[in-house]
Structure 1
Amino acid sequence: MKIVVIGGTGLIGSKLVARLGEHGHRAVPAAPSTGVNTLTGEGLKEVLAGAEVLVDVSNSPSFADDDVMKFFRTSTTNLLAAASEAGVGHYVALSVVGTRRLPESGYLRAKVAQEELIEGSGLPYSLVHATQFFEFAVGIADSATTDGTVRLPGAGVQPMAADDVAAAVGRTAGGTPVNGAVEIAGPEVFGLDQWIRTVLTARSDPREVVTDPQARYFGAVLEQQSLLPGEGVQVGPTRLSEWLASQ
């Protein structure tokens, strides 16, 4: 089965392409470096010719509110049009657990806009809602650092390894469209502050992590359950300690 992976050279995309290939699919990575630009439409018709599945794991190069909204609206509109013209039978997009719970976050508002475009497209689709990746811990710390101190709330998180994200997206891509969303997460629940503190300690990062219930997470104030998945979540196998040991 030909599966085109938009964002196929990135963190998740490269892992996904490899996994799909191991399972006998013809996985084609698509990114600006391969001549495919979702913002201009360049290369989309050519790369999607004969494709049965399109998987979008791309991300905006800028997380500024206006930039990220423009990226997901423009990119998704172009992808849906090209997928429809090519007769793609399954449109898969990677998104985030809790997108609709945190409207204060410009990034999550943009992900909601992306999801709404897909849901209204008429194409068979599956949305994969993932929790935070282990690989993003330092970036989260950086975003919450002021004067060398990291301030984060103790809201619950259930982070997961990028390898497990790629595996779950691959299973979804190889299956039938759910015309809805599936949730994926890691096997352990932490406080956001606790998770980041653990990772920074393991990396010998000297920054202190201070627990602050009012600290914002990418512009949003978190409730305890804001970032946690619901019942029926697909749980990946990799524990945080195992991932840290592998780094």
Structure 2
Amino acid sequence: MIHRALMLALLALPALAQERRSGFEDMAPQTQAMQRDDTSNPGMLWALEGEDLFRQPAGPAGQSCASCHAEGSMQGVAARYPAWDTARQAPIDLAGRIAQCRTDRQGAPPLARESQGLLALSAHVGQQSRGLPIAPPADPRLDAARVQGAALYAERRGQLDLSCAQCHDDHPGRRLAGSIIPQAHPTGYPLYRLEWQALGSLQRRLRGCMTGVRAEPFAYGAPEYIAIELFLMSRAAGLAVETPAVRP
């Protein structure tokens, strides 16, 4: 009960301080237009590749993702992740679930984090929830990880001794090195970042922030990243999924 009360209090802080808004609202009109138009959005190249991979047989059984998941069954899925993984008794993010399904059910070789194939499949599945509100699962088994994520978000780290909250809760809308500081709502991942000239996951962005404050980032797939994502998705509840989004 104490953990749950602490979690709810932490989640309420940014909402009380200001109106929530997607990072899309802070972008230049040209970048907004790029995201709106699927023929101009570079992230759609990965989403289209993911659609092909979703239908292609993989593993010794020769099954595809589509063999189990009917057309349209992925709608709303990305809006509900991270979720609880009963088999592993731990939270799992969407990319982790996709990789798990391919290895456990299809017997296919594992897809590495940030690999082209996993990003493409994640973009395709995420696109099926585009426009739907983020709806974190009301699963008490996730509470401890959400609280951990909130603590990590507020924790000062690195040689610069900065926390996520100091930038994204205290100073959104201001500029840092010429770029507008967003509220850090994870509405569009995996997304195409102009700085990267590629699609990337939320974990890649978190790692970039950590190295930016001169802190040692966690390894890809670390439970700490999933805990932070759980907190961020709860903090962004109700905002629309934009996958694949475009950001500066």
Asked if TM exceeds 0.5, the reply is no
Task: Give TM-score, length-normalised by structure 2.
Answer: 0.25
Larger RCO, structures 1/2 (Cα 8 Å, 6+ apart): 2
* Greater fraction strand: 1
* Greater fraction helix: 2
Task: Give TM-score, length-normalised by structure 1.
Answer: 0.26
